[in-house]
Amino acid sequence: MNCGVIVFPGSNCDLDAYHLVRDVLKEEVTYIDYEERSLQGFDVIILPGGFTYGDYLRSGAIAARTPVMEAVNRFACSGGLVLGICNGFQVLTEAGLLPGALCRNDSLQFRCRQVYVRIENNSLPFTNKASTDQVLMMPVAHGDGSYYAPPEVLQDLEANGQVIFRYVDQRGEAVKAANPNGSCENIAGVSNRAGNVVGLMPHPERAGEAVLGSTDGLVIFESLRGYCKGREVLKSG
């Protein structure tokens, strides 16, 4: 699996994604500059967390208009796998690659804590190693994580299986208390219609080592690895 981690001005979880892929998964990984115009040769593109351009206009809005995003758009349109984490998720919604928007947390405060999310669709390249309704413990750390989409869009998302992660309690129930930011329908992460672009607010890259408190995030990267390997076999076969 050959991963690219995009570094926008103000990205700050680029190191964490890079470290996880290189040191934990032992896979190939490269930083990609925000001015880069080609993403040839990559299997997976990760848009990491952070505060691109300070999130001064709207979270992710300015980063969504950098040169590299044209390349990400082309990459996604040709079926490439794109994972947006936290600010990366915000960038993908701002770029129109994912539906909906991420608004201010309902607490109006930044929140850093462990949450539980349930995998709602385990048929994607991002989730196919997870079991149905598997519950993962991962941290969130954001101020603008409240997922919003108009009712008709939400309906579509649910119907198409595009809601990929939902905030739940430890037992897997999508209760209000488990929702750290006021997201519609406890939505923590969604995909595009084709299922090759996924964004989520929680940080799976921070849940990849036992010493950090959880290894639950690994299932996402393991799924991606398995999918990429399978694709290689198909190609060479």
Partner 1 sequence: MADVDNLRPEKAPKIWRKLGLKDFEYEMIVEQLGREPNPVELNMYSVMWSEHCSYKHSRSSLKLFPTGGPRVVQGPGENAGVVDIGDGYGAVFKIESHNHPSAIEPYQGAATGVGGILRDIYTMGAQPIAFLNSLRFGPPNNARSRYLIEGVVAGIGGYGNCVGIPTVGGEVYFEPCYRGNPLVNAMCVGVMPLKRLVLGQACGEGNLVVLAGARTGRDGIHGVTFASEELSDQSEEDRPAVQVGDPFLGKILIDATLEAVEKQLVVGVQDLGGAGLTCALTETASRAGTGLEIDLKMVPLREEGLEPFEILTSESQERMLFIVEPEKLEDLEKIFQHWQLPLSVLGQVSAGKMVTVRHHGEVVAEVPAESVAGGAPAYEPESREPEYIGKLSAFDLSALKPAGDPGQYLLSLLSSPDIASKEWAWQQYDYMVRTSTLEGPGGDAAVLRLRETGKALAVTVDGNSRYTYLDPYLGGMLAVAEATRNLSCCGAEPVGITDCLNFGNPEKPEMFWQFRQAVEGMAEACRVLEAPVVGGNVSFYNEVEDEAIYPTPVVGAVGLLENAKNYCKTGFVRNGDLIYLLGPCEVSFGGSQFLKELYGKVAGRPASIDLEMEKAVQALLRRLIADGLIVSAHDLAEGGLAVALAESCLAGGRGAAVTLASGLDSVLELFGEGPTRVLISLPPEASDRVLDLARKKRVRMSELGRVDGGDSLTVKCGNALAFKLGLDELKKAYEEVFSWIRT
Would you tell me which residues interact with partner 1 (CB under 8 A)?
9-10, 12-13, 15-16, 19-20, 23, 35, 49-51, 53-56, 107-113, 139, 141, 143, 203, 205-206, 208-209, 211-212
Of 66 and 162, the one with the shorter C-beta distance to partner 1 is 66
Of 35 and 152, the one with the shorter C-beta distance to partner 1 is 35
Nearest approach, Cβ of residue 119 and partner 1 (Å)? 22
Name the active-site residue from 13, 86, 184, 228: 86
Of 46 and 124, the one with the shorter C-beta distance to partner 1 is 46
Nearest approach, Cβ of residue 8 and partner 1 (Å)? 10
Which token pair is 132? 């149905």
Q: Which has the closest alpha carbon to 145: 174, 111, 178, 185?
A: 111
Name the active-site residue from 120, 142, 203, 228: 203
Q: Residue 205 catalytic?
A: yes
DSSP classification of residue 60: T
Cα distance between residue 32 and residue 115, in whole Å:
30
Of 124 and 136, the one with the shorter C-beta distance to partner 1 is 136
Q: Name the E strands within the chain.
A: 2-7, 28-33, 44-47, 81-85, 101-103, 111-119, 135-142, 146-148, 163-168, 187-191, 197-200
- Pairing mode, strands 197-200 and 81-85: parallel
Nearest approach, Cβ of residue 76 and partner 1 (Å)? 26
Q: Residue 203 catalytic?
A: yes
Of 8 and 147, the one with the shorter C-beta distance to partner 1 is 8
For residue 167, what are the β-bridge partners? 117
Cα distance between residue 176 and residue 53, in whole Å:
32
Q: Residue 142 catalytic?
A: no
Contact 159, 194 (CB under 8 A): no
Contact 124, 191 (CB under 8 A): yes
Distance of CA 184 to the CA centre of its chain: 17
Nearest approach, Cβ of residue 99 and partner 1 (Å)? 27
Nearest approach, Cβ of residue 6 and partner 1 (Å)? 14
Catalytic residue numbers, as ranges: 86, 203, 205
